[in-house]
Amino acid sequence: MNNKKNPLSPHIQIYSWHISSLISISHRITGVINIIALTFISIWISSMLFGATSYELTKSILNSFIGKFIIIGIIWSFNFQILSEIRHLFWDLGYGFELKISKITGLMVIFGSFILTVLIYLGGR
C-alpha cells in the first residue's frame, strides 16, 4: 500500500536525539567530508606542479583565517572518523554493545575528537 499522506517517521521536529543516532549520522557526514577533503588535498599536491611562484597563492589561502579554519575542520573530521571507526571495530569483535558502554564510547568519540584536534593542531605549531 502506498499512501503518501502517511506521516513520516521519525518526524524530524519531535524526534528525540540519542548519542547513538548522533554518532551514526555524524559518522556518515564526516566520511563524505573526508573524501571531499582528500580531493582538495589532491588538488593541493597537484598545484605544486606549477612551481614555487604559483604556490604562493595556495600558501596565502592556507595561512588565512579561512584556510586555518578548513585545516582544523579537516583534522576534526578525520579524528571523529578515526575514533568512530575504532568504536565500530570493537563492536565487530563483540565488545561495547551494552547501553551504558555504548553511551560512554559515543561520548568518548565526540569529546575525544575535539581534544585530539586541539592537541594535534597545537602539536604541529
Partner 1 sequence: MVSATKKWIFLKASSVILVPLMMWFVINLAAIYDKSFDEVLAFFTTQPSKFLISLLMIVAFFYSALSISEIFEDYVENQEIKNVANKLLYLFVIIVPSLTIFVIFKLSL
Q: Three cell numbers at 32?
A: 563524505
CB nearer partner 1, residue 79 or residue 100: 79
Type of residue found at 11: H
Q: Given candidates 19, 86, 108, 110, which one binds partner 1 under the rule CB under 8 A?
A: 86
Cα dist from 40 to 30, 91, 122, whole Å: 15, 32, 23
112: Cβ–Cβ under 8 A, 6 or more apart, which residues?
79, 83
CB nearer partner 1, residue 20 or residue 42: 42
Q: Three cell numbers at 74?
A: 579537516
Q: Given candidates 15, 24, 57, 88, which one binds partner 1 under the rule CB under 8 A?
A: 88
User: Is 75:81 a contact under the CB 8 Å cutoff?
Assistant: no
Please name which of 49, 122, 19, 35 lies closest in space to residue 77, comparing C-alpha atoms. Answer: 35
Measured from the Cβ of residue 94, the count of other Cβ atoms closer than 10 Å reads: 7
Minimum distance, C-beta of residue 52 to partner 1, in the bound complex (Å): 4
Binding mask 24-63 for partner 1 (x = CB under 8 A): ----x--xx-xx--xx-xx--xx-xx-xx--xx--x--xx
Minimum distance, C-beta of residue 17 to partner 1, in the bound complex (Å): 19
Which stretches of the chain bind partner 1, using CB under 8 A? 28, 31-32, 34-35, 38-39, 41-42, 45-46, 48-49, 51-52, 55-56, 59, 62-63, 67-68, 71, 74-75, 78-79, 81-82, 85-86, 88-89, 92, 120-121, 123-125
